[in-house]
Amino acid sequence: MTEQEQLMYQIIGKISAANAPLVFKGALIAKLILIDSSFESIDRPTRDIDANWTGEPPTMAELADAVNQSLGPLGCSIRAEIDREYGIGRTAGLRIVDLINGQQLLTMDIEIKPTIGSKIYRYGEIAIRGVLPEAMLSDKISVLSGERIFRRAKDVLDVFALTNCLEICTADIYVALDKSGRVLDSFDAFINRRPDLEHAYNKLSGVFGKPDFDNVYAYLEKFLEPFIQHDKNPKIWNVSSEFWSEIGGT
């Protein structure tokens, strides 16, 4: 855990405790899921905070004020400032700066969009409001189904890691996809452009314990099968055998 990540957990913990209309997602929440499951052999450090604003669309000033008013004592040393206006197809951006030297410490990327639910995660004594695991996975599986897979190869690694420590039911993923308005593409890029995907995966830097691409790809071929086939019959993923079981079956 880097010092920057520890600071980010303090920040999102303060925001969660203040009940600001923000639900956190991305690598910070994925890391908490992995830690809680004692699956820490893979560590993908992150340098920013991802969230959804779930209230009425704010002005940028209102968004920054909501974050700053939540910081409590942390607000004596850091401050959120407007970095990027949101718009159609564009998220809001804030930067967190050090009040002593004016240095940018990290950024916040905020989607102005409700989530399909949330749950409380914990980092030590800090309680953090984050997206549901099935919502996180549905987003990443959607990415793996299309051309974005090459720009977001980190999601290849994240799906591999998360599905090694969560109980996955296909029905939960399909419900999350429907509620969020996401759709599954053909998986053509995943299936037919393996060398390009391997190149994008191998370019992922700063990942500790990154598994060999061949092992990750072979695992995901099995995991993604019902989604590739758009099979909506409820199934449970068995991590130890790397096999989908029908609900009530074997």
Q: Which two tokens stand for residue 178?
A: 């429907």
Tokens linked to 232: 């909506």
CATH code (residue 41): 3.10.450.620
Average pLDDT across the chain, whole number: 94
- pLDDT tens for 27-46 read 999 999 999 888 888 988 88
161 and 113 inside one domain: no
Same domain, 126 and 156: no
Sheet of 118-123, strand order? 78-84, 92-98, 104-112, 48-53, 22-25, 126-131, 118-123
- Per-residue pLDDT of the chain in tens (250 residues, 90 and over written 9): 889 999 999 999 999 999 999 999 999 999 999 998 888 889 888 889 999 999 999 999 999 999 999 999 999 999 999 999 999 989 999 999 999 999 999 999 999 998 989 999 999 999 999 999 999 999 999 999 999 999 999 999 999 999 998 999 999 999 999 998 889 999 999 999 999 999 999 999 999 999 999 999 999 999 999 999 999 999 999 998 999 999 865 4
The last residue of one of the domains, among 131, 151, 174, is: 131
Contact 176, 137 (CB under 8 A): yes
Q: How many domains does the chain have?
A: 2
Q: Is 63 exposed, middle or buried (0-12, 13-18, 19+ CB in 10 A)?
A: buried
Residues 68 and 159 in one domain: no
- How does pLDDT run across 137-173, given as a tens digit for each residue? 999 999 999 999 999 999 999 999 999 989 999 999 9
Name the domain boundary from 77, 111, 131: 131
Burial of 214 (C-beta count, 10 Å sphere; 0-12/13-18/19+): exposed
Tell if the pTM clears 0.95, that is, is over it. Answer: no
Predicted confidence at residue 1, as pLDDT, reads 80
Does residue 107 contact residue 49 with C-beta atoms inside 8 Å? yes
> Which range of residues forms the domain containing residue 72?
3-131
Whether the CB-CB separation of 181 and 111 falls below 8 Å is answered with no
The answer on 206 and 151 residing in a single domain is yes
- Is 240 within 8 Å of 219 (Cβ atoms)? no
Domain end, chosen from 107, 131, 155, is at 131
DSSP-derived 3-state class of residue 184: coil
Closest to 154 in 3D by CA, of 215, 206, 89, 90? 206
For the chain, give the number of residues.
250
- Residue 115 sits in the same domain as residue 211: no
